[in-house]
Amino acid sequence: MMTLENLPIQIPQPTPASGHPSRGGELLKSPPAEGCRDGGVGFLATAAQSLNALKKLVLLCAVSTALSSSAAENIIYYSLFNESIGWWQPSDAAKSWEVSGEIPDSTGGKALKIIPKFGTGTDRRIMMLCQIPFIRAHKIRVRLWNAIPADAGEIYLRFEIVDANNKVHMVKMYGNTEAFRTPERKTVKPVWGKDVEGSPVPSGKWITYEAELPQDIDYVYGEGFIDVGYFAPGDRYKITPERMIPIKQITISLDTTPDNRLSGSEGLAVYIDRVEFVGYEKQKQVAESK
């Protein structure tokens, strides 16, 4: 029986880019020779590595352009920003919090603006939880604009999903984008109370993070919060080679390092523009003749 624990984790291969503006626009930009942050691709590199990366990027762009017409994504859910309903539930490290239509370089719609309130020592994580309709998705994308200058403090992304079995999964999120799916370029996943790992969220740019499921699930831990009236179904749902377990909740955490200088900072914000769930190709079964 296939279970999440014994599912082999495969190294994902780059797939052709879609025409989505937030991803396509940044995919086609070259990173600066000196490294990642301002180039918006979420990795640290030496000059030599940057050149190689640039060559790969150019090659990939060519491939992507050629193949872009062949893979229209089945994007099944995106609209999660209705403030009066309060779909997003923040932890108490959120100093303030609003849904705003006035977001720098946003490509339409609204975005969530979070002003974190990182205290000294203890408050190093702002966590936002969002319950969603149960969706089977094989890919998740989230788009962030980090308006906090890097010299004020690094921000690290942590992403979790809760599945319909009520199990919490830590997910590796690859920033901009599948071209850079190497272990060095993932943005992962600080452990509670310890030093953060992985790469910081670059500041000053929209960065799209993406994970494929179940390949990018890093590990599974614990049970999620159980709503009153909804009981954990145990292991009722199974991953199959074709299907991920439906997702019912996502949690985005923004973490800082112990030596951050952000405590007491005013008005520094991080924006989340869009969360996308990419479904499997639609399966239309043959209609029975009537």
Partner 1 sequence: MNKKFWLLLIGLFAVSAVFAETEFSAIYDHGGEYHYYIFDWGDGTETPSTMVEEGCGAFESHAFLKAGTFPVSWRSVSLSGEITEWRGAATHEQKTAETAPARIVPASYLVGPGGKADISGNLSFVADEDYPMAWAGFIFSKVTALDAVALTAQKDVPFPEEFRLEYCMDDGKTWRQIPRYALNSYPNPEGRTVMLPLHGLAAKGIRLLCPRLPEGKAAVKMEAFRGESMLFEADAPEEFNAALNNMWLVYGSAENEIHLKGSSWWDSRRPNEGGVLAYPGAEWSEWASLQVSWISLKKEREALKNNLRDMTVGTDGFVWACEADPRHLFHAKHAVNNPTYILALHRYFAWNPDPAFWQAKDKKTGETVLSKARRTMEFCLNDLKGKDGLLVITFPENDGTADGWASNYWDAWLFGYKSAYANSFFYSSLNAMADIEEWNGRLDKAEEYRKLAGQVRENAQKEFWDTTKERFIGCIDKNGKKHDYGFTFVNFPAIAYGLASDEQTDAIMKWLTGERIIRGENATGENIYRWKFAAVPNTVDAGAIEPHWWEDWNGAISVGPGGKVPYEGNCQNGGAIFYISYYDLLARLQWRGPDFAMQFFNQILDEFKQDELRRNPVNVKTGMAGIFGIIGPFPESGNVPLFYLHGLMGVKPVPEGFEITPKLPEAWKFAKATVHRNGQPVHITCSRAANEVSVKPDGRGGFEVTVPASGSHCIKM
What does the angle CA 48 – CA 38 – CA 278 come to, to the nearest 5 degrees? 100
Of 15 and 91, the one with the shorter C-beta distance to partner 1 is 91
Residues that bind partner 1 (CB under 8 A): 18-21, 72, 74-80, 82-92, 94-97, 107-109, 127, 129-137, 164, 227-230, 236-237, 240, 243, 245-246, 277, 279-288, 290
Minimum distance, C-beta of residue 190 to partner 1, in the bound complex (Å): 19
Minimum distance, C-beta of residue 89 to partner 1, in the bound complex (Å): 5
Of 88 and 271, the one with the shorter C-beta distance to partner 1 is 88
Q: Distance of alpha carbon 130 from its chain centroid, rounded?
A: 13
Of 249 and 260, the one with the shorter C-beta distance to partner 1 is 249
Of 15 and 18, the one with the shorter C-beta distance to partner 1 is 18
Minimum distance, C-beta of residue 220 to partner 1, in the bound complex (Å): 16
How many residues in the chain?
290
Minimum distance, C-beta of residue 23 to partner 1, in the bound complex (Å): 10
β-pair type (139-146, 270-279): antiparallel
Of 15 and 49, the one with the shorter C-beta distance to partner 1 is 15
Which residues on adjacent β-strands are paired with residue 254?
126, 157
Inter-residue contact 146 to 207 (CB < 8 Å): yes
Of 151 and 288, the one with the shorter C-beta distance to partner 1 is 288
Half-sphere exposure (Cβ direction) of 213: Cα atoms closer than 13 Å: 28
229: left (phi over 0), alpha (psi -120 to 50) or beta: left
Residue closest to 179 by CA, chosen among 215, 201, 208, 145: 208
Minimum distance, C-beta of residue 277 to partner 1, in the bound complex (Å): 8
Residue closest to 245 by CA, chosen among 189, 166, 175: 166
Minimum distance, C-beta of residue 6 to partner 1, in the bound complex (Å): 19
Inter-residue contact 225 to 232 (CB < 8 Å): no
Residue closest to 57 by CA, chosen among 39, 71, 72: 39
